[in-house]
Structure 1
Amino acid sequence: MSEKLSFVQPTPNSPWGTYLQQVDRVVPYLGDLAKWAETLKRPKRALIVDVPIEMDDGRIAHYEGYRVQHNMSRGPGKGGVRFHPDVTLEEVMALSAWMTVKTAAVNLPYGGAKGGIRVDPKKLSLKELEKVTRRYTSEIGIIIGPHTDIPAPDVNTNGQIMAWMMDTYSMNVGGTATGVVTGKPLHLGGSLGRVKATGRGVFVTGREAARRLGLDLRGARIAVQGFGNVGSVAAELFAEAGAKIVAVQDHTGTVVNENGLDLEKLIPISRTVAGCVSFKGGEVVPNEQFWDVACDILIPA
């Protein structure tokens, strides 16, 4: 057996700890392949970078950034980049490992990778956000590329962030490299449907699970925890299928309406700084009561 990793201290409920337990659970079913389980328990490469920028007021701020490549045996690393003040190396490691599993499970010729910066983008100006993105891209540029590791949008990142990343990488290598990221704007070579792809995946999974259980989506009650790009899109698609969205929760709080929330009004409001709790078409309740709402399908988005 190999030594445990020295640079993380996972707990049973932490992201990397959860992933390790998942690997252990499947080992008895791997047969001759079980000898590779230890390889899955350690990332191929983990890069920690300093991201210094000059703020609008002249101060120099430093942010911690990560890019983890878990396994690239099947092809270039693939995985998003998230901007969040609470992101950690351990979290990014686990997410990169799950990307390895996901790409393999659907037989895509990619490996697993993930990235992140410990920053609250809501507290940055647009100019500062661009500086953070471009400096981070330059720092991880030594290990990413169209044939090695391809970032994508994730929590608090979008097509604009990908455009800055693509542009920065292209400048650094001396030529346009549109393939270095996915999730780009359409005019830079992005794909139609990309923005809603993850939320659509949640909907399709839920729809198929309901079909196998004999649950009719028409009139089904849906509760959605997390109402960003993924959760709101999934909710929208469930509503189009005839379901009722009876509760949603985002970072601002929880809104409930047993008769169904009006998503046409709720979604635009949820994307403002005020968030879901500023919506007037439902009752704002304590976050703990979200778990008491009667529903047929719970979506932890």
Structure 2
Amino acid sequence: MWDTVLAQLDDVAQRLRLDTGIHAILRHPERELTVAVPVVMDDGLVKVFTGYRIQHSSARGPCKGGIRYHPDVDLSEVRALAALMTWKCAVVNIPYGGAKGGVRCDPVQMSEDEVCRMTRRFTAMIMPIIGSKRDIPAPDVNTNAQTMAWIADTVSMLERKTVIDIVTGKPISLGGSLGRKEATGRGAAIITAELLKRKRRRLSDTTVAVQGYGNVGSHAATIMDQMGCTIVAVSDVSGGLYNPHGLDIASINQHVTAHPKRLLEGYEAPGVEKITNDELLVSDVDVLIPAALEHQIRADNAPYV
């Protein structure tokens, strides 16, 4: 993934006639930290996870970027995501730089206590390079407000003072922002609605497929459903659901909330077919929202999307 980001940077630098010195600097992250994260699992055995925190650029301000927990987390991915945070903050003129972090693990197979212990140990390992004036983590894939609360609590204990400004995306009770949880999905829905408006297409005549039903995809689907669009397909890691006449998003949300792993698996309703993620990507719809992990639209399937 890092190679892809570098190729994009090189292409844009040439188009913009970017200063060669700035171009060279942007091709290299400022700081990379790889840590071993030993955790006592519920069975008493010790498992060592690998974690990363990468700061791509602090030229415009403190670094900013999420922390993700996923089996595919690696150095290349975290580097790329840190650089993309630099671009995103700069494009919308937010005075922050780019960073990203992650731990290679499968939280779906871990208990909450195991994830908590891993989070606290990972936090202690990256503490020397994070801070409200240096680098502020946030939620990302498989992390949430509770994860941020564990991070803030761990830093506060080690610093022996309250340090809730160490993260964003924390619980409202700890000073988090109202609307933060649904913000990304809402943004996707609003942008899509505005684009359809400019194309003079009515929302009620628009069919939508959403790949990924986590924090972003579920909120995007819910809000676009409320706007009047017809959500015909959704999917997550467990598979997809399809109904050409429209899915009952409220019913699906109730199912996901009740599911022990918050997945779509097991959902059944009249007229709903099971499909794969790949089938969803090439389904015949007006709007496709890819809200899963990166590299879903590739050279082999792009012509069919």
TM-score calculated relative to the size of structure 1:
0.92
**Corresponding residue for 1:296?**
286
- Give the C-alpha shift of residue 288 in structure 1: 3.3
Find the residue that maps to 2:136 and give its secondary structure.
Answer: strand
Amino acid in structure 2 at the alignment position of 1:40: L
The equivalent residue for 2:175 is 189
- Are the counterparts in 2 of residues 78 and 113 from structure 1 also a CA contact under 8 Å? yes
Give percent identity, aligned residues only: 47
Query: How many Å separate the matches in 2 of 1:279 and 1:243?
Result: 21
Partner residue of 1:114 out of 100, 107, 110: 100
Deviation at 1:57, TM superposition (A): 1.5
Aligned match of 2:274: 284
The amino acid across from 1:167 in the alignment is D
**Where does residue 188 of structure 2 map in the other structure?**
202
- What secondary structure is seen at the aligned counterpart in 1 of 2:19? helix
1:98 aligns to 2:84 (yes or no)? yes
The more displaced of 182-191 and 214-223 is 214-223
By how many angstroms is 1:34 displaced?
A: 4.4
Counterpart check, 1:55 vs 2:45: no
SS in 1 for 2:201: coil
| Structure 1, 193-202 or 28-37: larger mean CA deviation | 28-37
Post-superposition offset of 1:32: 5.3
Q: Which amino acid aligns with 1:19?
A: V
Unaligned runs of 5+ in 2: 292-305
CA RMSD, aligned part only?
1.4
CA separation of 1:133 and 1:32: change in aligned 2, threshold 3 A: closer
> Could you tell me how far 1:23 is from its partner in structure 2?
0.7
Find the residue that maps to 2:203 and give its secondary structure: coil
Q: Deviations over 1:173-207 (max 9, x none)?
A: 22111110001101111110000011112112212
Q: Which residue of 2 aligns with 1:44?
A: 30
In the alignment, the residues of structure 1 paired with residue 63 and residue 138 of structure 2 have an alpha-carbon distance, to the nearest angstrom, of 11
Please give the alpha-carbon distance, in whole angstroms, between the structure 1 residues aligned to 2:14 and 2:278.
Answer: 38
How far residue 71 of structure 1 moved from its aligned partner, in angstroms, is 0.3
Q: Which residue of 2 aligns with 1:134?
A: 120
**CA–CA separation in structure 1 for the residues paired with 2:21 and 2:193:** 37
Question: Equivalents in 1 of 2:276, 2:187: separation in Å?
Answer: 29
Residue number in structure 1 paired with 2:165: 179
User: Which one-letter code corresponds to 1:246 in the other structure?
Assistant: V
Structure 1 position 232, deviation (Å): 0.6
TM-score, normalised with respect to structure 2: 0.91
Looking at structure 2, the residues matched to 176 and 137 of structure 1 have their Cα atoms a distance apart, in angstroms, of 15
Q: Do the aligned partners of residues 110 and 274 (structure 1) sit closer, same or farther apart at CA in structure 2, a change above 3 Å counting?
A: closer
Letter in 2 for 1:59: L
Match of 1:157 in 2: 143
The equivalent of 1:232 in structure 2 is 218
Structure 1 residue 138: deviation in Å? 0.2
Partner Cα separation in structure 1 for residue 262 and residue 57 of structure 2: 40
Amino acid at match of 2:191: T
Query: Contact 2:63–2:136 (CA<8 Å) still a contact in 1?
Result: yes
Q: Deviations over 1:100-140 (max 9, x none)?
A: 00011111110000000011112222211110000000000
- The CA deviation string for residues 263-286 of structure 1, in whole angstroms up to 9 with x for no partner, is 111123234237223221211124
Q: Counterparts of 1:274 and 1:155 in 2: how far apart (Å)?
A: 13
- Note the residue ranges of structure 1 that are not aligned, 5 or more in a row: 1-14
Please give the alpha-carbon distance, in whole angstroms, between the structure 1 residues aligned to 2:61 and 2:157.
Answer: 25
Task: Determine if contact 2:211/2:277 at 8 Å carries over to the other structure.
Answer: no
Distance 1:287 1:193, change over 3 A: closer
One-letter identity of the residue aligned with 2:214: G
Structure 1 249/138 Cα, relative in aligned 2: closer, same or farther at 3 Å? same
Deviation at 1:30, TM superposition (A): 2.6
